[in-house]
């Protein structure tokens, strides 16, 4: 399987790490505007393969969407993060433009891919991807935030109760705001 992660920031790099370490793909492509950061993160990740015992091939593609060709799954983490004082809604215009451009490039090279959007604000960015994914059925475009929100929720409860987060069994559903 070939998986592409678009965005090499904290979320994208963490996602790429988990995909590689768990060997969810034979090939992992990482796309980001900052070619040098992308290459550095891909190299760092690949150099952990002998220690963590995985053989997922990692391709730091920079902005070369041609290298994403025939990806079965594409995870979109691209977008600007919030700065102090910003709300998630402040990101809508800028991140919608980014997600639209990313989606159009992905669809051009991997029209059969499943798209998983992680960019914020999630619900709006998932809809932006849907609109930009000309011809891709809606059942192949997903927004994913639930596991992160649930992890945060469980960690806050564990801190408040001064117990292990492994002792908390909960799930959080629905959108979130600030």
Residues designated as active site: 176
DSSP 14-69: HHHHHHHHTT--SEEEEE-S-HHHHHHHHHHHHHTHHHHT---EEEEEET-GGGGT
Cα separation of 11 and 178, whole Å?
18
**What pairs with residue 76 in β-bridges?**
6, 117
Going by the DSSP 8-state scheme, the letter that residue 75 receives in this structure is: E
Cα separation of 2 and 168, whole Å?
34
Whose structure tokens read 């952990």?
48
Contacts of 121 (CB under 8 A, 6+ apart): 88, 89, 91, 92, 95
């Amino acid at each position: 399987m070939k998986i592409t992660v678009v965005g090499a920031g904290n979320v994208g790099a963490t996602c790429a790490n988990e995909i590689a370490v768990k060997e969810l793909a034979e090939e992992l492509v990482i796309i980001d505007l900052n070619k040098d950061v992308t290459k550095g993160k891909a190299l760092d990740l690949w150099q952990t393969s002998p220690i963590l015992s995985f053989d997922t091939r990692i391709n730091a593609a920079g902005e070369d969407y041609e290298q994403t060709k025939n990806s079965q799954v594409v995870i979109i983490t691209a977008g600007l993060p919030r700065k102090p004082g910003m709300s998630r809604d402040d990101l809508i215009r800028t991140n919608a433009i980014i997600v639209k451009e990313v989606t159009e490039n992905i669809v051009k090279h991997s029209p059969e891919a499943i798209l998983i959007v992680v960019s914020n604000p999630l619900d709006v960015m998932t809809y932006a991807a849907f609109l930009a994914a000309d011809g891709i059925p809606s059942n192949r475009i997903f927004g994913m935030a639930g596991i992160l929100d649930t992890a945060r929720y469980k960690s806050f409860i564990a801190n408040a109760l001064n117990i292990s987060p492994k002792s908390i069994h909960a799930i959080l559903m629905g959108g979130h705001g600030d």
